[in-house]
Amino acid sequence: MMGKALLRLEDIGPGGYYESAENGAKLLVVASRLKTSGIPFQAAVIPRFVDPGRRYDRSIADLADPEAARFVHLLHGLVRCGASLGMHGYTHQYGHSVSGEGNEFADASCRQDCPPDDPPSALADPAAFRQSYAFGRFHSALTAFRAAGLRAEWFESPHYVASEVQRRILDACSGVIHETNPDFPESRRVTLRPSLSARGWTAYVPTPLGYVGGSSVDRDVDRILHAASEYGEEELASFFYHPFLEFPYIRRDSGGRWRYGANSPLHRLTGGFGRLGRRFVSIRELTR
């Protein structure tokens, strides 16, 4: 029996690093290589990308917008490459913050551009539940996915931040949350949390190995592989990765074909996991 590994591609939205057609094509190169290598993966999608300073606001629901339509086509391409898509909040920001950087739900430590909390009454009264801020954000994200013809299989709150009331609302809305279970913060396994969902519980799938930072790539690759080597067979070697870190290793040759360097950080990670005897799986396999 091989130990399991899980890869999540993080912060993929219709703006920022993925705003240009070229970078969208490079993301599809990454996904295609994962498919060729037999590696299923997860993609955390920000359905609506907002950058207030640039007056930029684009949603995957805006199919009449050619750029949004191109991005939605890209997401369908990721699915064909084996991706399981999840909602990474709705805008992953609030106020004047930029998508991918700001919080979206209540954070006790917030001092500026602070999202609102929801009252405990939202958990007891169905009308108050539907009117809550957290439900509104979840529902907006889900509506955008459906408008784009996409299936959202899980949810991830931006920066894993939400108040306890909002966490209970999100638990009730999604059967799978791809983040650390607040009841079991040190867990390296899928855990269940009692919830108001139809099943009475919500599955939490953590990423205990963390991620590769843009300013510490080599150090984090080594750290993740070393930590994974010490995981037990029943523990989930799960991490997330920002795919734009691969883009410097991807270029077109003189014939217009994409060339993808074998020494990229993600190649080193996936190859290293294989040498550790780890098998990459889809989140579906862990939560069905």
Checking if the pLDDT of 114 tops 70, the result is yes
Q: Residue 7 pairs with which residues in a beta bridge?
A: 239
What percentage of residues in the chain have a pLDDT greater than 70?
Answer: 100
pLDDT at residue 237 tops 70: yes
Distance in angstroms (rounded) separating the CA atoms of residues 175 and 286: 12
Helix ranges, 37-91 (H): 66-80
The mean-pLDDT minimum among 68-77, 97-106, 109-118, 169-178 falls in 109-118
**Nearest alpha-carbon partner for 45 in 142, 171, 135:** 142
Binned at pLDDT 50, 70 and 90, residue 113 comes out as confident
What is the mean pLDDT of the segment spanning 164-176?
97
- CATH numbers and ranges of domains, the chain: 3-287 (3.20.20.370)
| Cα–Cα dist 3/13, whole Å | 31
Is the pLDDT score of 1 beyond 80? Answer: no
* Confidence tier at 198 by pLDDT (50, 70, 90): confident
CA pair distance 174, 93, nearest whole angstrom = 20
- In this predicted structure, what is the pLDDT of residue 2? 83
pLDDT at 165: 98
pLDDT band at 111 (very low <50, low <70, confident <90, very high): confident
CA distance 113 to 98: 11
Task: Give mean pLDDT, residues 2-21.
Answer: 96
pLDDT, the chain, mean = 96
CB of 190 within 8 A of CB of 167? no
Mean pLDDT across the stretch 249-256?
A: 91
pLDDT 10s digits, 269-280: 999 999 999 999
Could you read off the pLDDT of 145-159 as tens digits, one per residue? 999 999 999 999 999
Tokens found for residue 122: 């939202």
DSSP 18: G
pLDDT tens track for 24-70: 999 999 999 999 999 999 999 999 999 999 999 999 999 999 999 99
Per-residue model confidence (pLDDT) at position 213: 95
* Whole-angstrom distance, CA of residue 144 vs CA of residue 285: 26
